[in-house]
């Protein structure tokens, strides 16, 4: 495997429904709720594994980061070290995701959340807000694939959200 293969950007296309399911799962994992494993096992017919959808959320952030750095869509390896490490992390998680057990899916979800926190300087208290913003973006999408919001996300217009 070449270096260019490992860090090549991967296009991200997730339906709003897939984003909502992945956010629901990540929120349950973050809160330590026992029903999170049920969301992995009880996937609708034809749905990708939960770990694959969670990595898709991480990929969306990497794609947004690449675009903001002016490095998206290029066949050349990115020069930004944060982007390079981000792509290696997502490539590793993407390789593990299709066959992940419920426990491994939980680790993947927590890894994606830790990644989001690291690149956005979010605190532990900010995680529910970050998940809510990604979830709200998906919920307001009409149909079909959704473009990712700017990262780090900003609160939608209106009164500020209360942190849990």
Residues 25, 9, 20, CA angle at the centre, nearest 5°? 20
Question: Going by C-beta distance under 8 Å and a sequence separation of 6 or more, which residues neighbour residue 114?
Answer: none
Q: What are the residue ranges in the chain where pLDDT is below 50? A: 1-9, 11-12, 142-146, 148, 156-164
Contact (Cβ atoms closer than 8 angstroms) between residue 136 and residue 156: yes
Which tens digit of pLDDT belongs to each residue from 68-111?
777 766 667 778 888 888 889 999 999 999 999 999 999 999 99
Question: pTM of this prediction?
Answer: 0.76
CA separation for the pair 112, 40 (Å, rounded): 16
Question: Going by C-beta distance under 8 Å and a sequence separation of 6 or more, which residues neighbour residue 79?
Answer: 71
Residue 47: predicted pLDDT: 79
CA separation for the pair 32, 26 (Å, rounded): 10
């Amino acid at each position: 495997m070449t270096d260019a293969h490992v860090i090549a950007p991967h296009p991200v296309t997730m339906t709003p429904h897939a984003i909502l399911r992945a956010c629901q799962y990540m929120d349950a994992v973050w809160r330590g709720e026992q029903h999170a494993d049920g969301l992995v096992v009880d996937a609708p017919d034809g749905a990708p594994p939960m770990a694959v959808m969670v990595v898709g959320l991480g990929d969306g952030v990497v794609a947004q980061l690449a675009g903001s750095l002016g490095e998206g869509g290029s066949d050349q390896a990115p020069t930004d070290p944060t982007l390079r490490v981000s792509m290696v992390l997502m490539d590793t998680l993407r390789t593990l995701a299709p066959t992940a057990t419920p426990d491994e899916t939980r680790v993947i979800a927590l890894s994606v959340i830790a990644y989001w926190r690291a690149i956005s300087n979010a605190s532990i208290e900010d995680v529910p807000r970050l998940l809510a913003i990604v979830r709200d973006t998906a919920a307001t999408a009409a149909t079909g694939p959704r473009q990712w919001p700017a990262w780090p996300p900003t609160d939608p217009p209106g009164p500020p959200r209360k942190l849990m």
